[in-house]
Amino acid sequence: MSDINSMLSIQAFERLVAFADRSGFNALAARFPAGNLTANQLAAVLKESIQTEFEHNLSQQIYVSETAWQAVLDMKEQQCFIIDQLIAALPEDASGSLFAAAIKTFLEADPNASIQPIVLELLKNEARKNLSSL
């Protein structure tokens, strides 16, 4: 792999690591506090944020392995799926605070419920391999 390709790949991994971090539930909760939002509004904001971040980084798939890209895609889909499942379990008129608490409870019940930390580690490891090959 040429130096320019290696650098492009490393930059892509940097962006995808940022995406994976920003799309984790803890980061989302910090950026989008429930405030006066309903649960449905907060869920929509979280899913829109994940989707927007994903679309912003869509072109990075050119520079990373198929495995890394598939992991990012799976994480995005899973994060949105979890949001949908949690919101469906709440009453229609639930508050954003109740939804935020449901996310926290879900993650505390099973810290491995989201693949986000696994994807983050995979991206970091692949980036390190690329760096060591320079």
The DSSP result for 64-109, as a single string, is S-HHHHHHHHHHHHHHHHHHHHHHHTS-TT-BHHHHHHHHHHHHHH
What pLDDT is attached to residue 7? Answer: 85
Average pLDDT, the chain: 93
Is the pLDDT at 1 greater than 60? The verdict is no
**The one-letter amino acid at 7:** M
Per-residue model confidence as pLDDT tens digits over 57-82: 999 999 999 999 999 999 999 999 99
Per-residue confidence band for 41, with pLDDT thresholds at 50, 70 and 90: very high
Q: Count how many domains the chain has.
A: 1
**Range 103-128 average pLDDT:** 92
Rounded CA separation 61/70 (Å): 9
- Gap between the Cα atoms of 11 and 97, Å rounded: 36
Evaluate whether 83 touches 47 at the Cβ level (below 8 Å): yes
Domain limits for position 64:
3-132
Tally the C-alpha atoms within 13 A of residue 28's C-alpha that lie toward its C-beta. Answer: 26
